[in-house]
Amino acid sequence: MTRLLRIGFMPLTDAGLLLVASAKNFDRDEGLRFELSPEPSWANLRDKLALGIYDAAHMLAPAVVASTLGLNGFPAPMIGAVALGLDGNAISVSPALAVALREKISGEAADPACTARALAELSAERAFDGLPPLRFAHVFPYSSHHYQLRLWLRSGAIRPDAVQLTVTPPPLMQQAIEGGYIDGFCVGGPWNTLAQQAGASEILHPCRVLTPDCPEKVLAFRSEAAEREPELPRDAARAIRRAALWGEKKENREEFCRTIAEKTGAGASPAMVAASLDQNWLRLDAEATALAGSQASWLYVLMVAAGQAFADDGQAALAQTAFWPLDGAPPPPSAPGFKIAAFDPRHWREALAALAG
């Protein structure tokens, strides 16, 4: 007998493993049937999961940690049962800003610290000329996109108020940058590529160069429901891993990419999905589905650095419980440029000092 699992997702390339698991019946192999519904906002996913309209949701990894910590805005705690991938975001800028940055860059343009220093110079000049600060959009307060923008700006020693951060929903990024409402954005696939192809923006950095193997989206369940029926999240996790293992095989690659492109409903071509995987911008392989408490702990440190959470040993320990461990997760990013060799949850304050100091 199969068990119906109602799952909400955002139309993004990293919903891919859910879509493939359903299309190729890996859910049935685990006695489940995924019923997938697209949603227009993370807020909707959160609310509908909290109310039990969904049994599980494609969710921003930091949002799950925020819910476990009881941070503002999450009515019911969630847990992450399986990662739906690693990385996948990129920072894009308007063509005008890309030109202005190129004129200022000294050093390697692929090095985010170099572009960030150029941006710092540009921002200082704008302030001197009485121009409003540049505006960059991310997708949600508790998102890796938000923290990646902050890390990038920090690597150029840009003052927090010298660049404005705002939120724009992914499908509106292109219009927003074309309309001049924002100067750059950090978003997941396929939106960077689609906007670049339309000539609206240029991709500056895939976020993997900033935070390699960054936890991105997880399959979230209400904590209470997950604890009541722990086999359900575990079965779903196995179905997701099956989909990833299947996609790893060369002979399945074409179908894997085509399924994701078609089922996502965001207008990406199979070639776009293939390119993001081949260039290693986005990881949807089996290892990328693993989860570890240390990843949640690392996200907690970023939240504290962003002023969203308090630095507290109890909170740091609690954060680790947000993700149910699944063997084989790569270590959290070391955040290059901040002299963190390897992140150790026991020494989270050292990482915080490096990020916030």
Partner 1 sequence: MPDEKNLLIVIVDQNPLRTAILRDGLREAGHEQVMIVDAFLDLERRLREINPDIVLIDLENPNRDVLEQMIRVSGVHARAVAMFADSSDAAMINAAIDAGVSAYVVDGLKKERVKAIVDLCISRFNAFARLREELAAVQGQLADRKAIDQAKGLLMKAKNISEEQAYAMMRKVAMNEGKKIADIARSLITAAEFFK
- By beta-carbon proximity to partner 1, the closer residue of 27 and 183 is 183
- By beta-carbon proximity to partner 1, the closer residue of 2 and 37 is 37
Neighbour-count burial of 86, counting CB atoms closer than 10 A to its CB (0-12 exposed, 13-18 middle, 19+ buried): buried
249's CB contacts (< 8 A; 6+ apart) are: none
190: cis peptide before it, omega within 30°?
yes
Least distance from partner 1 to the Cβ atom of residue 152, Å: 18
Whether 163 contacts 135, CB under 8 Å: yes
Binding site for partner 1 (CB under 8 A): 40-44, 47-48, 51, 53, 72-75, 139-141, 166-172, 175-176, 179, 181, 308
Q: What one-character-per-residue DSSP string does 322-354 give?
A: GB--BTTPPPPP--TTS--SS--GGGHHHHHHH
Least distance from partner 1 to the Cβ atom of residue 167, Å: 4
Least distance from partner 1 to the Cβ atom of residue 44, Å: 6
Q: φ, ψ for residue 308 (rounded to 5)? A: -95, -20
87's CB contacts (< 8 A; 6+ apart) are: 206, 207, 208, 211, 212, 213, 214, 216, 280, 281, 282, 283
- By beta-carbon proximity to partner 1, the closer residue of 288 and 319 is 319
Alpha carbon distance 290, 296 (integer Å):
12
Nearest Cα to Cα of residue 318 among 182, 253, 223: 223
Alpha carbon distance 88, 259 (integer Å):
18
- By beta-carbon proximity to partner 1, the closer residue of 47 and 213 is 47
How far apart, in Å, are the Cα atoms of 7 and each of 54, 192, 207, 283, 285?
5, 25, 27, 21, 21
- By beta-carbon proximity to partner 1, the closer residue of 73 and 199 is 73
How far apart, in Å, are the Cα atoms of 290 and each of 24, 85, 241?
21, 9, 8
- By beta-carbon proximity to partner 1, the closer residue of 290 and 309 is 309
Neighbours of 315 (CB within 10 A): 18
Least distance from partner 1 to the Cβ atom of residue 296, Å: 19
Least distance from partner 1 to the Cβ atom of residue 169, Å: 3
- By beta-carbon proximity to partner 1, the closer residue of 10 and 207 is 10
Tokens 């906007």 map to which residue? 195
Least distance from partner 1 to the Cβ atom of residue 139, Å: 7
Least distance from partner 1 to the Cβ atom of residue 302, Å: 14
Alpha carbon distance 174, 156 (integer Å):
25
- By beta-carbon proximity to partner 1, the closer residue of 259 and 315 is 315
- By beta-carbon proximity to partner 1, the closer residue of 73 and 107 is 73
Alpha carbon distance 51, 34 (integer Å):
18
Least distance from partner 1 to the Cβ atom of residue 40, Å: 4
Least distance from partner 1 to the Cβ atom of residue 214, Å: 20
